[in-house]
Amino acid sequence: MENKNKSKRKIIGNIIFLIVVLIVLGILLFSLNDINEIWSIITSSSVPLLLLALGLSLVFMFLTNSSIQLITSGVGGNISYKDGIHIANTEYLFNAITPFSSGGQPIQAYYFMKKGLSGDQTMSVLTSNFIIYQAVSTLLGTVGIIIYFSAVKASISGYAWLIFIGYFINTLILVGAVLMATVKGFRNLLRSIFRGLGKIKFLNKSMTKLEKKSFGFVERFQIETKKLFKRKRVLFGASGLRLLSLLVVNSIPIVVFTALQITIDPKDYLFIIMMTAFATTFTLWIPTPGASGGVEWAFTVLFTGIIAPQPVVIAALLIWRVLTYYVGIVSGFGSYIYIRKERV
């Protein structure tokens, strides 16, 4: 009975995901002035350059997975490079089909522990990866805002609050993680919050449970984070790989625009990289699978008129999304099949 319920939930989840994708595509297509013009732009693109963009997408995944594998080996995990890469790679599939891109880590945790990592080692890997990603991506986005504030403000005009909500949430998460990792009194703060909320009658039981769970979680989080900062080679190596991976993936639009016969001034390379980081990082708060809808909107408003006319930007968006989103889903699904078949 339980398996049937799980299957039903999976089916419902897949249906919701497909509906979301169809809605996003519908809105996108109906917003176009001329669908035939978009298709003509895409079909006249340079195939060698599109293959180069595909190659960059694969390099991005390899670098990201290598960063996670480096952390795994750093905590003493006895996992082969091949298995570690495949487990890390499942993140692209499950982040893409879950709200807030939240599904990757639970799947990774499950297979890391099946492969022999202890609960503490697994938490260390996921905690380290999370902190490194949040720090590097928020840093890139912040630098982008500082350098190109005027351009961003002009592009998103009345919708600035949507992007800056995402920036605020990302920064809050990063600051919260750092405080939780470094401030000894953080557990006491949580205790005060939960006990204060527990005075509300209908919240009493749930707050008591949360207090107990959070105490253990924060304690382990602090222990594993301290271990990360002691492993200088792992910390700087994984951070370097993550930064390089984000620079690679955020440079893909440069190649795509060039493939669509748009001449990009070299001085705009950094702008495109930073704005792509901005678009992808600060729309993750949108509760749709893979932040669908928000990413597309941000990409369109940030580049239309500055880099290319709207029809070309839409064409670039469609190609870019296939290369960075759907290729990831296919790759992640392949890794998921592998680890299930190999019983990793």
Confidence of residue 292 (pLDDT cuts 50, 70, 90): low
What is the reported pLDDT for 3?
Answer: 52
- Residue 30, domain member (yes or no): no
The Cα diameter of the chain in Å comes to 65
Mean pLDDT score, 147-168:
73
* Whether pLDDT at 170 is above 60: yes
Which range (25-29, 322-326, 333-337) has the least confidence?
25-29
Model pLDDT, residue 56: 97
Residue 32 inside a domain? The answer is no
For range 298-324, the mean pLDDT:
90
Determine the Cα–Cα distance for residues 335 and 90; give it in Å rounded to an integer: 6
- Span 72-114, pLDDT tens digits: 888 777 788 888 888 988 988 888 777 766 678 888 988 888 8
Q: What is d(CA 171, CA 186) in angstroms, rounded to the nearest whole number?
A: 18
| pLDDT at residue 228, as a whole number | 75
State the Cα–Cα distance between residues 325 and 333, nearest whole angstrom. 12
- More confident call, 245 vs 162: 245
User: For residues 90 and 268, is the Cβ–Cβ distance under 8 A?
Assistant: no
Tokens of 239: 């951070």
Among 138, 144, 105, which residue's Cα sits nearest to residue 123? 105
Q: Determine, yes or no, domain membership for 10.
A: no
Alpha helices by DSSP H, 75-201? 81-96, 104-114, 119-147, 149-156, 160-182, 186-198
**5-34: per-residue pLDDT in tens?**
554 465 455 546 555 665 665 555 555 557
Q: Is the pLDDT of residue 38 over 50?
A: yes
* Structural domain count of the chain: 1
Within-domain flag for 319: yes
pLDDT of res. 15: 46
Residue 37 lies in a domain: no
pLDDT value of residue 55: 97
Lookup: tokens for 288: 């749709």
Please compute the mean of the pLDDT values over residues 271-288 and round it to a whole number: 79
Q: What is the mean pLDDT of residues 178-187?
A: 79
43-47, 63-67, 277-281, 336-340: least confidently modelled range: 277-281
Most confident of 20-29, 51-60, 133-142, 334-343: 51-60
Query: pLDDT of 220-245, one tens digit each?
Result: 778 877 777 788 888 899 999 999 99
What is the distance between the alpha carbons of residues 246 and 302, in angstroms, rounded to a whole number?
A: 18
Question: How confident is the model at residue 290, as a pLDDT?
Answer: 61
Tokens of 122: 């697994």
Share of the chain above pLDDT 70, in %: 82
**What does the pLDDT average to over 33-50?**
87
CA distance 31 to 313: 13
pLDDT at 240: 95
User: Residue 181's pLDDT band (boundaries 50, 70, 90)?
Assistant: confident
10-19, 84-93, 147-156, 305-314: which has the minimum mean pLDDT? 10-19
Distances (CA, A) of 97 to 107, 129, 290, 291, 321: 13, 20, 6, 9, 14
**CB of 310 within 8 A of CB of 300?**
yes
112, with CB counted inside 10 A (0-12, 13-18, 19+), is: buried
Q: Domain range for residue 48?
A: 42-341
Q: Indicate whether 50 belongs to any domain.
A: yes
Q: What is the mean pLDDT of the chain?
A: 81
Give domain status of residue 320, yes or no.
Answer: yes
Q: Which residue has the higher pLDDT, 44 or 283?
A: 44
Residue 206 lies in a domain: yes
